[in-house]
Structure 1
Amino acid sequence: MIVLRYGLQARFLAMMALALLVVLALVALLWNRQERVQGEVEGVSREAMRSMVNEGIRQRGEGTVGELAESLANPLYYFDLEAIGSVGRTVLRQAGTRYVIVYDNAGNVLHDGSESIPSYGKRMDDPMAAQAIAARAVHTQIDSSTMDVSAPIMIGRQRIGGVRVGYDLKVVRGSQDRAIANLRARLGELGRRHLLWVGLLGTGLLMLGALMLWLIQRTLVRPIRQLADAARTIEAGHFDIHLPASEREDEVGDLMRAFARMGRSVARHDRDIRKMAYTDALTGLSNRLAFRESLDQRMAMLDGGDRELALLFADIDDFKRVNDTLGHDVGDDVLVQFARRITATVERLGGDDALLARFGGDEFVILVQNGFYPHDDVRTTASRLAGALVEELGQPIPVEERQVFLGTSIGITLFPDDASGATALMKNGDIAMYQAKVAGKNCHRFYSRAMDQAVERRVHLEHELRGAWDRGELSLAYQPVFRVSDGVMVGAEALLRWMHPTQGLIAPSVFIDVAEQCGLIETLGPQVLRAACFDAVAWHRSRGGDPLFVSVNVSPRQLRHGDLPEVVADCLRDSGLTAQCLHLELTETAVIGDETHASALLSKLRETGVKVWLDDFGTGFSGLSHLRRVPVDGVKIDRSFIADILRDPDDLALTTAIIALAHSQGITVVAEGVEKEGQYELLRERDCDLAQGYWLGHPVPMAEFQALLCPA
Structure 2
Amino acid sequence: MSTFPPLPGYTLFPPAEGVRAVREGPDPAELALRESEAYFRSLVENARDVIHVINADGTTRYITPSVRHLLGYAPEELIGGTALDLVHPDDREEATAALRLDRYAPGAGRGLEFRMGHRDGSWRIFEGVGTNLIDDPTVRGVIVNARDITGRKRAEEETARLASFPRGTPSPILECDATGAIRYANPAAEHAMRELGVDSARLLLPEDHPRIVRRALESGAGVRDVEVGVGGRVLAWLYHPQPALGAVHLFGEDVTERKQAAARLFHDAMHDALTGLPNRPFFMQRLTAALVRHERGETTAPAVLFLDLDRFKVVNDSLGHHVGDELLVAVAERLRGCVREQDTVARFGGDEFAVLMEELEGPACAARVAERIAVAVAAPVNLSGYEVFTGASVGIALANGARDRPEYLLRNADMAMYRAKGAGGARYELFDRAMHAQALARLQMETDLRRALGRGEFILHYQPIIALSSGRIIGVEALCRWQHPQQGLIAPGDFIATAEETGVIVPLGEWVLEEACARLAEWRREFAHARIAMSVNLSARQFAHAGLVSHIRGTLAASGLNPRHLKLELTESVLVEGGGSAGALLGELKALGIDLQLDDFGTGYSSLAYLHRFPIAALKIDRSFVSGMEADNAAAQLVRTIVGMARGLRLRVTAEGVETAAQLAQVRDAGCDFAQGFLISPPLDAPSMRALLAADPRWR
TM-score tier, shorter chain, comes to 0.5 to 0.7
Residue 274 of structure 2 aligns with an amino acid whose one-letter code is: L
2:275 is aligned to 283
- Amino acid of the structure 2 residue aligned with 1:362: D
Which of 609, 618, 624 aligns to 2:608? It is 624
Instruction: Confirm or deny that 1:671 pairs with 2:655.
Output: yes
**C-alpha separation between the residues in 1 aligned to 2:375 and 2:569?**
32
- Out of 433-442 and 583-592, give the one that drifted further: 433-442
**Shift in Å, 1:308:** 3.5
Counterpart AA for 2:331:
F
State how far apart, in whole Å, the 2-side matches of 1:291 and 1:221 are: 48
Alpha-carbon displacement from aligned partner over 1:401-458 (angstroms, at most 9, x marks no partner):
5565544321101123696443432232222223333444443211111211111110
Q: Report if the CA contact (8 A) 1:618-1:624 is conserved.
A: no
The answer to whether the 8 Å contact 2:228/2:234 transfers is no
CA drift of 1:240 comes to 5.3
**Other structure's SS at 1:609 match:** coil
Shift of 1:327: 5.7
1:313 equivalent to 2:313? Answer no
Q: 1:638 aligns with which of 603, 617, 622?
A: 622
Partner of residue 354 from structure 2, selected from 365, 370, 373: 365
**How far apart are the structure 1 equivalents of 2:344 and 2:256?**
34
Question: Which runs of structure 2 are paired with 1:261-280 in the superposition (5 Å)?
Answer: 263-269=255-261, 271-280=263-272
The C-alpha deviation readout for 1:580-617, integer Å capped at 9, x for no partner, is 11100000111123554212211221122110001111
**Does the CA-based 8 Å contact 2:543-2:578 persist in structure 1?**
no
- Structure 1 pair 461–330 and aligned structure 2 pair: CA distance change class (3 A): same
Distance 1:242 1:696, change over 3 A: closer
Deviation (angstroms), 1:461 = 0.5
Provide the identity percentage.
36
Distance 1:689 1:470, change over 3 A: same
Residue 468 of structure 1 deviates from its aligned partner by 1.4
Counterpart of 1:379 in structure 2 is 363
Please list, as runs of the form range in 1=range in 2, the aligned pairs for 1:640-659 lying within 5 A after superposition.
640-659=624-643
TM-score by length of 1: 0.61
What is the DSSP-based 3-state SS (H/G/I as helix, E as strand, rest coil) of the residue aligned with 1:470? helix
- Cα deviation for residue 225 of structure 1 reads 11
Distance 1:603 1:351, change over 3 A: same
Partner of 1:457: 441
Is 1:613 the counterpart of 2:597? The answer is yes
Distance 2:536 2:620 in 1: 13
C-alpha distance in structure 1 between counterparts of 2:400 and 2:435, whole Å: 17
Q: How many residues align?
A: 472
Measure the CA separation in 2 of the matches of 1:400 and 1:674.
Answer: 46
* CA drift at 1:222: 5.4
The amino acid that maps onto 1:276 is D
Alignment of 1:74-93 (within 5 A): none
Structure 2 segments unaligned to the other structure (5+ residues): 1-161, 175-221, 238-250
CA separation of 1:355 and 1:268: change in aligned 2, threshold 3 A: closer
Counting only pairs closer than 5 Å after superposition, residues 133-148 of structure 1 correspond to structure 2 as none
Work out the CA distance in 1 between the residues paired with 2:546 and 2:384: 24
Q: Cα deviations across residues 645-674 of structure 1 (Å, max 9, x unaligned)?
A: 111122112111111101111001111000
The more displaced of 450-459 and 359-368 is 359-368
Amino acid at match of 1:703: P
Task: Kindly indicate whether the alpha-carbon contact (under 8 Å) linking 1:418 and 1:425 is maintained by their aligned counterparts in 2.
Answer: no
In 2: Cα distance, 1:233 partner to 1:679 partner: 88
Q: 1:274 to 1:527 in 2, by over 3 A?
A: closer
Q: Determine the C-alpha separation between the residues in 1 that align with 2:236 and 2:485.
A: 79
Which residue of 316, 320, 332 corresponds with 2:325? 332
The structure with the greater share of residues assigned to helix is 1
Residues 407 and 509 of structure 1: is their aligned pair in 2 closer, same or farther, counting only changes over 3 Å? farther
Does the alignment pair 1:342 with 2:335? yes
- What is the DSSP-based 3-state SS (H/G/I as helix, E as strand, rest coil) of the residue aligned with 1:551? strand
Question: Which amino acid counterpart does residue 351 of structure 2 have in structure 1?
Answer: D
Does structure 1 conserve the Cα–Cα contact (< 8 Å) formed by 2:659 and 2:677? yes
Is the 2:381–2:387 contact (alpha carbons within 8 Å) kept by the matching residues of 1? yes
1:538 maps to a residue whose letter is E
* In structure 2, distance between residues paired with 1:557 and 1:509: 16
Q: Deviations over 1:278-308 (max 9, x none)?
A: 4322211122343334334444444436833
Change (3 A) 1:229 1:634: farther
Change in Cα spacing, 1:418 to 1:652, as seen in structure 2 (3 Å) is farther
Contact 1:343–1:356 (Cα < 8 Å) also in 2:
yes
Match status 1:236 vs 2:236? no
- 2:575 matched to which residue of 1? 591
Cα-Cα RMSD: 3.3
The SS at the match of 1:710 is: helix
Query: Does residue 466 of structure 1 match 2:450?
Result: yes
Listed one character per residue, the Cα deviations across residues 477-525 of structure 1 (whole Å, up to 9, x for unaligned) are 1100011122111101000011101101112111101001111111111
Contact preservation (8 Å) 2:171, 2:252: no
Structure 2 counterpart of 1:616, one-letter code: D
Q: CA separation in 2, counterparts of 1:323 and 1:415?
A: 35
Instruction: Give the superposition deviation at 1:229.
Output: 6.5
Pairs within 5 Å for 1:556-571:
556-571=540-555
- 1:492 corresponds in structure 2 to 476
Matched residues in 1 for 2:508 and 2:165: separation?
Answer: 71
- Do the aligned partners of residues 326 and 523 (structure 1) sit closer, same or farther apart at CA in structure 2, a change above 3 Å counting? farther
Q: How does 1:17-56 map to 2 (within 5 A)?
A: none
Aligned residues of 1:325 and 1:593 also touching (Cα < 8 A)? no
Partners of 1:421 and 1:242 lie apart in 2 by: 39
Q: C-alpha displacement at 1:317, in angstroms?
A: 4.0
Which residue identity does 1:428 align to in structure 2? N
Tell me if the contact between 1:309 and 1:378 (Cα under 8 Å) persists in the aligned partners: no
Deviation, 1:526, is: 1.5
Asked whether the equivalents of residues 414 and 425 of structure 1 are also in contact (C-alpha less than 8 Å), the reply is yes
1:495–1:395 distance in 2 versus 1, CA, 3 Å = farther
- SS of corresponding position for 2:479: strand
Q: Which amino acid aligns with 1:655?
A: V
Tell me the distance in 1 between the aligned counterparts of 2:393 and 2:503.
20
Specify the alignment match of 2:184 in structure 1: none
- Larger proportion of strand: 2
Tell me the distance in 2 between the aligned counterparts of 1:470 and 1:434.
Answer: 29
With normalisation by structure 2, the TM-score equals: 0.62
How far apart are the structure 1 equivalents of 2:331 and 2:410?
A: 21
- The structural deviation recorded for 1:274 is 4.8
For 1:706, the equivalent position in structure 2 comes to: 690
Which stretch of structure 1 is more off in the superposition, 417-426 or 429-438?
Answer: 417-426
